[in-house]
Amino acid sequence: MAAPAFVSRLNQQLGYEFGAHQQYVAIAAYYDALTMPQMAALFYNQAVEERDHAMMMIQYLLDADAEIRIPALEAPEMAFADVIAPVKLALDQEKRVTDQINELTRIARDENDFASDQFMQWFVKEQVEEVSKMSDLLAVVTRSASDYERIEDWVAREDTGEGSDPTAPRKAGA
């Protein structure tokens, strides 16, 4: 089924996805404490999305009859200098995940693991959207750092949430 090198790296990716989940919860809590409910909601939703990505990967490993190993996680960053820092951290994280997803795709292709390559294509598309979303948000937050209401208004207007994607891989437990 899935190539051993791909399985090993996908298990490693589980830690990154669960770590991103925790980091986004920490960012959401930071904005919640600032009474920025739109920003908090955006990052709480991002946290759920990252958890869902990990659960999709777990389901794929189950379907491939591969071993599942969930690595230990480092504590997320909790203290931020200003309202810009968490979004900058989120953008950097999304760029790093993009590199990780591309590496997983490369491994699948190098191993002639066509099923794993096909599985990764949804994540490739997803990362383009995530980097774009965080880039836009960073621009707005940087421009409006001293005007929390302006940031909140922009998020309320622009972040319409994401509907269900029928092309998304199935999540474990769903």
pLDDT digits (tens, 9 = 90+) for 20-35: 999 999 999 999 999 9
Task: Output the pLDDT for position 113.
Answer: 97
pTM of the model: 0.94
Label residues 87-109 b or e (16+ Cβ within 10 Å = b): bbbbbebbeebbebbeebbebbe
Please report, to the nearest 10 degrees, the dihedral formed by the alpha carbons of residues 99, 166, 129, 32 taken in order: -100
Query: In this structure, which amino acid lies at residue 154?
Result: W
